Amino acid sequence: MRKSAFTLIELIISIVILSILMLFLYKSYDMLNKSNRVIAEEVQKISKNYLLKKTLYLDMATAIKKSVKILHQDQQTDILFLQSKHSLHKRINPYIAYIFRDKKLYRLESLKPFTEYPLSADSEFIADFLGNSEIFRVYKSKSTSSELYLFHILFEDKEEVLLKVKLLNNK
């Protein structure tokens, strides 16, 4: 009569094999988490860039003709004033300003027109921070037949935005 059971050596070997498998599973899980974080950061960057381009495009494309005013500050800085049919804050035909100051880009939206920079003390607006950037330039086409604008924005994280916008036909 012989008893069949596991010996101590067999148990130790099975525990070692199980430990090695668990170690590989943990490493795989850790690498998966790291790659998910990297992908999430990239998606967030792309989403931010897309929303900025969409906002710029809608502001300019629906701008009211003759309302666009570009104030050149220096080689890397422009200030942009316009009135648009696009609003982020549920306003009808808001006045919009893109201000680049202290390497920060802001979008201001107001019910009153922006006329000068620096803004007067009684200005009322809602400000949206668009990001830290090194360059904000707006170029207007020299063609008189169409109102065409080119935006050049270089963010601190070296993300560059070049966007060409044509005003839609509005009177």
63 vs 152: CA distance, rounded Å: 18
Q: Look up tokens 């994280």; give the residue.
A: 157
Per-residue pLDDT of 54-88, as tens digits, reads 999 999 999 998 899 999 999 999 999 999 999 99
Q: Specify whether the CB–CB gap between 168 and 148 falls below 8 A.
A: no
Task: State the pLDDT confidence band at 120, using cuts at 50, 70 and 90.
Answer: confident
Q: N- to C-terminal Cα distance for the chain?
A: 104
- The pLDDT assigned to 12 comes to 94
- The pLDDT assigned to 9 comes to 92
Q: Specify whether the CB–CB gap between 75 and 92 falls below 8 A.
A: no
Residue 139: its H or E element: strand 126-140
